C-alpha cells in the first residue's frame, strides 16, 4: 500500500525545486502527471542535440533520444507519468483543464504571471474544479515589486543570506554550494503545503491557492542569523570549516587523491579519547590543548598537528577508529564513494531503476522511511509523452480518433527533434 | 474564520537543537498543538547555543531556540525516572504523534520505543530523527552539522577544487533533515487519516543530505565519474560567478547566448565583447575566466549590489546579489509581502522574526507566538492528566518535572 495513493497531481514544474516536490509525492504513491511539450520539455532533459561532453548521460552517450537519457531529469522525476501537450494551443489548454477537473493538485514553479498567461491560473482552474489545490512555487511570490524577477537556486542562495555565510573566511568571497540546495528546500516546503491543503479540503471540502516564494522559504533556514541581526544588530560572518566553540573542527587531508576527513571535537572527554586513539603523541598532551578554550585559541597549530596524523590514513578507517571511542569523525564522501557506502546500501537507500532508454542504474529513492507504507521508486522517470495515451484515453476518455487528431495537429508531439530546423 | 490546517493534532515533541525543532515549528505554525518535553533544569540543548540576545548566555535568550520554537508549549519531564516515563505514557494516550531525535538506542532503553507506546495509543504516529537512521552499520555513530554534510556527499562538491572541501554557512544538514521529517510526518498523518494505518517514520541526516544532490549520484551510477568541486563558477554551459562590487558582492549569471548579449550590451555597455573571441562562447569564457573577471570587475566596482540586481533583472537577466542579514530585513520585496513578523518574548523582547515558507490563502498559519519558557505550560498540560498544583510541587521536588 502506498500512503498517497488516490491523489492526482498535475506537475507543471521544471528543473529542480518543483520536480523534487513531485518526486516525493510520486515516490509515495500519488499519481503525478508531468506536463511538458516537445517545444518546451523540462530543461533538465537537456538539449535535443547536446554538444559533445555536456550533460550527464549513461556512459556519456546521449543516444538517439537524449531527452530521455538525461541524468538530471531521470534523477528528479522518478515514479511520475509524462503528458506532452502544447500549452500554446487552445486544444492543449483544453486538455489540461479537463485533466484539472479530475485532479486534486496543480503545481508550477514559473514566474508569477506565466500560468495565467496560458489561461491556467488559479481562477481559471477553480472554474473547472472548485475544490482544486493550486500551488505556485515562484522565486519571489505572487506579489511585491520583485514579483516578476527570475531566480535560480544559485541566486536564491545569495538573496537569502545563505551565500553570505559560506566561504573560507570573512575576507574570502562568499561561496556557492555544490548543488542548488534552495531548490529542494522549496520542494520540501511545498510537499508539506500540499498535504496541509489536502487535509483542510478533507475537513471542509474547500480547495485553495498556495503562494510559495522560494526566497522566503529558503530564508527560513537562516532564522537564527536573522534574529542575531534583529536582536543584536550583528551580521554573522563566514568562518570556513571552523565552529564557534568546537576545536579541532575541520576538514583534514587523508591518504589518496582529494581525500578528506572531518573531525569535530566539542568536549574534554572527546579530546582525551582522541589523544589516546591516535597513540598519545607528545603534542596531544600539551597543556595549551587541555581545555576547550585552549584548543579553540590555538586551533591554527592544532589543525596542522591533526592533519599531520590524518594525512597518511584512509578517511573511512579514521571514522571507524574515532567513532568507536566516541569521537565525532566522518569521511568527506565523493559521489562514487556515496554510491558504494556500506551503510546506505544496507539501508536500501539506492534503488535499481530500469529505464527503457537509459538502461538499468542505481538511483536515490525515498528519502524517509515509513515503516508500514515504505514508498520508493515506483517506476522510471518517464520518457517525454510516454503516458499521453493513458492520460487522454483512460483518464479523459478521448476516443482513438480524437487522440490521433491531436497528434496529427502536433498538440501532443513528443519528439523535440521534429521541431529542430533541418 | 477558517481553522489552521493541522488543528486538532497533538504532538509530543522530544526533540532538541535544529532538525526536530524545525519540523515541529512548522507543525505548530500549521495549527498542531506541539508540547515540547524538556529535561528539568536544562531543557533543549539549543537553549545553551549562541548567538544569544545581548550576548547574554541565558536559556531564554538563544536566538536559535527563540527562532525554532515559536508556537510551542513547554513542559519539563525526566523520562529516565519511572514516574516521568509513566507520566509520558499518560500524555501519549492523549496525543497523535511523537517526534524524537535521540540516538536510536535511547527510546528502547527507556522502554518508550514505538511498539511499546503504541500499546497505550494504537493510532499513535512516531517520527524518529537520527544521524544515520534506526538501522544499519553506522547507526550509533555521532554526527555534527559539518560531519553530516561530509558523509552525505554535499561537502565534497562545495568549495575550491584546489583547496579543502567547504561546509555551508547555513546549518543545512540539520534543517534539511527537519524538512524531510516534516514531509514524512505529513505523509504519515495523511495515511493515517485516509487508511487508518499508524506507523513510525525513520529520518536520518545522512540520507536527508544524500537525497538533495540533484544529478550528482548519477555521475557515479551512469558513468562512474567523480563529480569534482566546481568552485565558485558554473562548470556547465553558462556564466556564473560571485564578484566583488562597490558595497559587497554581486551574483552574475548568464544562462543563454541571448543573456550574454544583453549583459554586454545593456549592463556593461560594451557590445564589442559579444563577439570578442576570448569570451564569445561558453567554452571560451571558461578558458579565459580570469580575464573575463577583470573586465566584469572593472564595471562592478563602480556599482552597488542591489543597483546591479535591479538593473539586470529589468533587462531580463536572472542576477542575484549576496544579501547580508541587514539587506534581507530591509528588502523591499520581503517587506511588501510582510515576510517578517514581530514577536514579543518576555525575556528577549519584541523583535522581527522571519515568517512563513508559504502562504495558504484559505487555511492560514497560526499567528506567530513566542518560544516558551522552560516548563511554562506544566500546569496546563499536566492539569489535563488530573494533576493538581500541589502534585506538581511534589514532582518538582523530586526533579521529575
Set of chain A residues whose Cβ sits within 8 Å of the Cβ of B251: 154-155, 158, 163
pLDDT tens string A38-87: 999 999 999 999 988 888 999 999 999 999 999 999 999 999 999 999 99
Q: Which domains does chain B have, with CATH numbers?
A: 10-212+338-397 (3.40.50.10540), 239-323 (3.30.1540.10)
Contact A161 B218 (CB under 8 A): no
In-domain check, residue A1: no
Cis peptide bond prior to B51, omega within 30° of 0: yes
Which of these, A197, A230, A9, lies nearest to B360 by C-alpha position?
Answer: A197
Asked if residue A178 and residue A86 are part of one domain, the reply reads yes
- Taking the Cβ of residue B321 and every Cβ of chain A, the question of whether any pair is shorter than 8 Å is answered with yes
Q: What is the mean pLDDT of each run of 10 residues along chain B (401 residues)?
A: 89 98 98 97 94 94 97 97 96 98 96 97 98 98 98 97 97 98 98 97 98 97 94 76 95 91 95 93 86 94 98 96 98 98 95 96 95 97 95 91 87
In-domain check, residue A227: no
Q: The cell 533541418 sits on which residue?
A: A422
Asked if residue A408 and residue A267 are part of one domain, the reply reads no
Asked if residue A216 and residue A154 are part of one domain, the reply reads yes
> Residue A44: closest CA among chain B residues belongs to which residue?
B215
Residues 357-386 of A with CB under 8 A from B: 358, 361-364, 367-373, 375
By Cβ distance, the residue of B2, B165, B179 closest to A189 is: B179
In-domain check, residue A274: yes
pLDDT tens string A368-394: 999 999 999 999 999 999 999 999 999
Assess contact for A384 and A355: CB atoms under 8 A.
no
When divided into structural domains, chain A yields a total of 2
Domain finish residue from A264, A299, A334:
A334
Asked if residue A368 and residue A329 are part of one domain, the reply reads no
In-domain check, residue A381: yes
Mean pLDDT across chain A, nearest whole number? 96
The H or E element spanning position B295 is helix B289-300
d(CA B356, CA A216): 7
Asked if residue A63 and residue A40 are part of one domain, the reply reads yes
> Residue A181: closest CA among chain B residues belongs to which residue?
B212
Asked if residue A196 and residue A129 are part of one domain, the reply reads yes
A interface test, pick of B147, B192, B351 with most A CB neighbours within 10 Å: B147
In-domain check, residue A244: no
- Identify the domain containing residue A295 by its residue range: 249-334
Sequence-ordered list of residues with C-beta below 8 angstroms from that of A79, at least 6 positions apart, any chain: A23, A26, A27, A32, A377, A378, A379
- Taking the Cβ of residue B238 and every Cβ of chain A, the question of whether any pair is shorter than 8 Å is answered with no
- Taking the Cβ of residue B37 and every Cβ of chain A, the question of whether any pair is shorter than 8 Å is answered with no
Contact B146 A241 (CB under 8 A): yes
State ipTM: 0.98
Asked if residue A300 and residue A197 are part of one domain, the reply reads no
**Weakest-pLDDT range from A133-142, A290-299, B229-238:** B229-238
Contact A192 B68 (CB under 8 A): no
Contact B143 A328 (CB under 8 A): yes
> Residue A6: closest CA among chain B residues belongs to which residue?
B194
Contact B325 A225 (CB under 8 A): yes
Sequence-ordered list of residues with C-beta below 8 angstroms from that of A293, at least 6 positions apart, any chain: none
How far, CA to CA in Å, does A86 sit from each of A113, A272, A416, B57?
A: 18, 66, 12, 60
In-domain check, residue A120: yes
pLDDT for A378 = 97
In-domain check, residue A33: yes
Residues of A labelled catalytic: 183
**Dihedral of the CA atoms B201, B203, B208, B210 (nearest 10)?**
-100
**Dihedral of the CA atoms A213, A117, A23, A337 (nearest 10)?**
-70
Set of chain B residues whose Cβ sits within 8 Å of the Cβ of A338: 152-153, 210, 213, 217, 220
Asked if residue A151 and residue A63 are part of one domain, the reply reads yes
Number of helices and strands in chain A (H, E): 18, 12
- Start-to-end CA span in chain A (Å): 49
Assess contact for A215 and A159: CB atoms under 8 A.
yes
Asked if residue A281 and residue A357 are part of one domain, the reply reads no
d(CA A161, CA B323): 5
Q: Residue A355 pLDDT > 80, yes or no?
A: yes
Asked if residue A152 and residue A81 are part of one domain, the reply reads yes
- Taking the Cβ of residue A262 and every Cβ of chain B, the question of whether any pair is shorter than 8 Å is answered with yes
- The CATH number that applies at residue A306 is 3.30.1540.10
> Residue A2: closest CA among chain B residues belongs to which residue?
B191
Set of chain A residues whose Cβ sits within 8 Å of the Cβ of B172: 162, 177, 181, 221
Domain finish residue from A302, A334, A366:
A334
Set of chain B residues whose Cβ sits within 8 Å of the Cβ of A350: 217, 221
A interface test, pick of B170, B194, B197, B344 with most A CB neighbours within 10 Å: B170
Closest approach of A287 to chain B, Cα-based (Å) = 26
pTM for this model (two decimals): 0.97
Set of chain A residues whose Cβ sits within 8 Å of the Cβ of B236: 54
Question: How big is chain A, counted in residues?
Answer: 422
In-domain check, residue A230: no
Contact B361 A371 (CB under 8 A): no
Set of chain A residues whose Cβ sits within 8 Å of the Cβ of B216: 178-179, 335
Asked if residue A399 and residue A329 are part of one domain, the reply reads no
pLDDT tens string A175-204: 999 999 999 999 999 999 999 999 999 999
By Cβ distance, the residue of A58, A227, A330 closest to B150 is: A330
pLDDT for B236 = 64
pLDDT tens string A203-226: 999 999 999 999 999 999 999 999
- The CATH number that applies at residue A370 is 3.40.50.10540
Asked if residue A391 and residue A267 are part of one domain, the reply reads no
> Residue B339: closest CA among chain A residues belongs to which residue?
A216
Domain finish residue from A309, A334, A359:
A334
Amino acid at each position: 500500500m502506498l500512503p498517497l495513493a488516490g491523489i492526482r497531481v498535475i506537475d507543471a514544474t521544471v528543473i529542480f525545486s518543483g520536480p523534487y516536490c513531485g518526486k516525493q509525492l510520486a515516490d509515495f504513491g500519488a499519481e503525478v502527471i508531468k506536463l511538458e511539450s516537445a517545444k518546451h520539455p523540462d530543461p533538465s532533459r537537456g538539449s535535443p542535440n547536446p554538444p559533445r561532453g555536456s550533460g550527464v548521460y549513461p556512459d556519456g552517450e546521449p543516444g538517439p533520444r537524449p531527452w530521455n537519457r538525461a541524468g538530471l531529469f531521470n534523477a528528479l522525476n522518478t515514479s511520475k507519468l509524462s503528458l506532452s501537450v502544447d500549452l500554446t494551443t487552445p486544444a492543449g489548454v483544453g486538455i489540461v483543464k479537463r485533466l484539472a477537473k479530475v485532479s486534486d493538485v496543480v503545481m508550477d514553479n514559473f514566474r508569477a504571471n506565466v500560468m495565467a498567461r496560458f489561461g491556467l491560473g488559479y481562477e481559471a482552474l477553480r472554474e473547472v474544479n472548485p475544490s482544486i489545490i493550486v500551488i505556485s512555487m515562484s522565486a519571489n511570490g505572487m506579489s511585491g515589486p520583485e514579483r516578476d524577477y527570475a531566480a535560480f537556486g544559485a541566486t536564491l542562495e545569495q538573496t537569502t543570506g545563505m551565500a553570505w555565510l559560506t566561504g573560507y573566511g570573512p575576507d574570502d568571497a562568499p561561496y556557492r554550494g555544490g548543488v542548488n540546495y534552495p531548490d529542494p528546500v522549496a520542494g520540501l516546503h511545498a510537499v508539506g503545503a500540499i498535504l496541509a491543503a489536502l487535509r483542510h479540503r478533507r475537513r471542509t471540502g474547500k480547495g485553495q491557492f498556495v503562494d510559495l516564494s522560494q526566497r522566503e522559504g529558503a530564508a527560513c533556514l537562516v532564522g537564527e542569523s536573522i534574529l542575531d541581526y534583529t536582536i543584536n544588530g550583528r551580521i554573522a560572518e563566514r568562518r570556513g570549516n571552523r565552529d564557534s566553540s568546537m576545536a579541532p573542527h575541520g576538514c583534514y587531508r587523508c591518504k589518496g587523491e582529494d581525500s578528506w576527513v572531518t573531525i569535530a571535537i566539542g568536549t574534554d572527554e572527546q579530546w582525551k579519547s582522541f589523544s589516546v586513539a591516535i597513540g598519545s603523541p607528545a603534542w596531544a598532551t600539551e597543556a595549551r590543548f587541555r581545555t576547550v578554550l585552549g584548543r579553540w585559541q590555538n586551533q591554527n597549530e592544532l589543525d596542522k598537528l591533526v592533519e599531520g596524523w590524518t594525512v597518511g590514513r584512509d578517511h573511512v578507517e579514521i571514522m571507524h577508529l574515532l567513532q568507536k571511542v566516541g569521537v565525532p569523525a566522518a569521511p568527506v564522501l565523493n559521489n562514487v564513494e556515496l554510491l558504494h557506502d556500506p551503510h546506505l546500501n544496507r539501508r536500501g537507500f539506492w534503488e535499481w531503476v530500469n529505464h527503457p532508454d537509459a538502461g538499468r542504474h542505481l538511483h536515490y529513492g525515498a528519502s524517509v522511511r515509513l515503516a508500514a507504507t515504505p514508498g520508493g521508486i515506483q517506476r522510471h522517470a518517464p520518457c517525454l509523452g510516454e503516458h499521453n495515451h493513458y492520460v487522454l484515453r483512460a483518464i479523459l476518455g478521448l476516443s482513438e480518433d480524437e487522440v490521433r487528431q491531436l497528434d496529427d495537429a502536433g498538440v501532443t508531439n513528443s519528439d523535440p527533434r521534429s521541431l529542430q530546423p533541418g | 474564520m477558517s481553522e489552521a490546517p493541522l488543528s486538532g493534532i497533538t504532538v509530543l515533541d522530544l526533540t532538541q537543537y535544529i532538525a526536530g525543532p524545525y519540523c515541529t515549528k512548522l507543525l505548530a505554525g500549521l495549527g498542531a498543538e506541539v508540547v515540547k518535553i524538556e529535561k528539568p533544569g536544562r531543557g533543549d540543548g539549543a537553549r545553551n547555543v549562541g548567538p544569544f540576545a545581548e550576548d547574554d548566555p541565558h536559556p531564554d535568550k538563544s536566538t536559535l531556540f527563540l527562532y525554532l520554537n515559536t508556537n510551542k508549549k513547554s513542559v519539563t519531564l525526566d523520562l529516565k525516572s519511572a514516574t516521568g516515563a509513566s507520566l509520558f505514557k499518560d500524555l501519549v494516550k492523549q496525543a497523535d504523534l511523537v517526534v524524537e531525535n535521540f540516538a536510536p538506542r535511547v527510546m528502547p532503553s527507556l522502554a518508550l520505543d514505538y511498539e511499546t507506546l503504541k500499546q497505550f495509543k494504537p493510532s499513535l504516529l512516531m517520527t524518529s530523527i537520527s544521524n544515520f537512521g534506526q538501522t544499519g552499520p553506522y547507526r550509533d555513530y555521532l554526527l555534527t552539522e559539518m560531519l553530516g554534510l561530509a558523509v552525505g556527499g554535499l561537502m565534497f562538491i562545495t568549495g575550491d577544487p584546489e583547496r579543502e572541501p567547504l561546509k555551508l554557512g547555513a546549518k543545512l544538514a540539520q534543517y534539511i533533515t527537519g524538512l524531510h521529517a516534516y514531509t514524512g510526518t505529513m505523509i504519515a498523518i495523511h495515511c493515517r487519516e485516509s487508511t487508518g494505518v499508524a506507523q513510525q517514520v525513520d529520518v536520518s541526516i545522512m540520507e536527508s543530505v544524500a537525497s538533495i544532490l540533484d544529478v550528482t549520484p548519477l555521475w557515479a551510477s551512469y558513468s562512474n565519474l567523480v563529480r569534482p568541486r566546481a568552485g565558485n563558477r558554473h562548470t556547465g554551459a553558462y556564466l556564473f560567478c560571485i564578484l566583488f562590487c562597490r558595497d559587497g558582492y554581486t551574483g552574475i549569471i548568464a544562462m543563454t547566448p541571448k543573456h550574454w548579449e544583453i549583459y554586454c550590451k545593456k549592463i556593461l555597455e560594451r557590445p564589442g565583447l559579444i563577439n570578442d573571441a576570448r569570451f564569445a562562447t561558453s567554452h571560451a569564457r571558461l578558458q579565459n575566466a580570469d580575464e573575463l573577471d577583470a573586465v566584469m570587475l572593472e564595471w562592478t566596482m563602480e556599482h552597488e549590489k542591489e543597483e546591479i540586481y535591479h538593473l539586470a533583472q529589468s533587462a531580463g537577466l536572472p542576477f542575484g546579489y549576496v544579501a547580508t542579514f541587514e539587506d534581507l530585513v530591509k528588502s523591499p520585496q520581503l517587506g511588501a509581502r510582510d515576510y517578517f513578523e514581530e514577536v514579543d518574548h518576555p525575556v528577549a523582547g519584541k523583535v522581527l522574526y522571519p515568517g512563513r515558507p508559504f502562504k495558504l490563502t484559505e487555511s492560514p498559519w497560526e499567528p506567530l507566538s513566542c518560544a516558551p519558557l522552560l516548563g511554562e505550560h506544566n500546569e496546563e498540560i499536566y492539569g489535563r492528566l488530573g494533576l493538581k498544583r500541589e502534585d506538581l510541587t511534589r514532582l518538582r521536588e523530586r526533579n521529575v518535572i
